[in-house]
Amino acid sequence: MRIFSGQRAFVLQRISALVLLACIAGIALRLAIGPQVTFTQWRTWIAQPLGASALLLVAAALFIHAWVGTRDVVLDYVQPLALRLTVLTIVATGLTVLAAWTGFIVLTHAL
């Protein structure tokens, strides 16, 4: 795979999609079948290493998936080079900030 290979984006999107699929299935199942989630349960789940890692994994997959998807949309509709680079930078920065914020939230509660 080369640096700007189309295949890398394709594969990352598929892998992150599969991770998200598994997690969403798990979450949906838990919310649908298990008892109503209370604040304490939620809080303790995040505090455990397993719960925190799972959430971080989902967040990572989510932000990678969002980036590849949004980049595809921008590449399709935004043609002028300067505008395109600006939009991509804004989106990349936005997603990185959100990802960092999410990491911060999870880690402050886990550690």
Draw the binding track, 17-56, toward another protein (x: CB under 8 A; -: no contact). Answer: xx--x--x--------------xx-xx--x----------
92 binds another protein (CB under 8 A): no
φ/ψ of 40, rounded to 5, equals -60, -45
- Helical (H) or strand (E) element with 20: helix 6-33
Instruction: Indicate the DSSP class of residue 34.
Output: S
96 binds another protein (CB under 8 A): no
CA-based nearest residue to 95, from 69, 64, 74:
64
- Smaller CB separation from another protein, 86 or 96: 96
63 and 91 in contact (C-beta within 8 Å)? no
CA 23 to mean position of chain CA atoms? 11
58 binds another protein (CB under 8 A): no
- Smaller CB separation from another protein, 2 or 34: 2
Residues in contact with another protein, counted by CB under 8 A, come to a total of 35
Instruction: Indicate the DSSP class of residue 80.
Output: S
Interacting residues with another protein (CB under 8 A): 1-2, 4-7, 9-11, 14, 17-18, 21, 24, 39-40, 42-43, 46, 62, 66, 69-70, 72-73, 75-77, 94-95, 98, 101-102, 105, 109
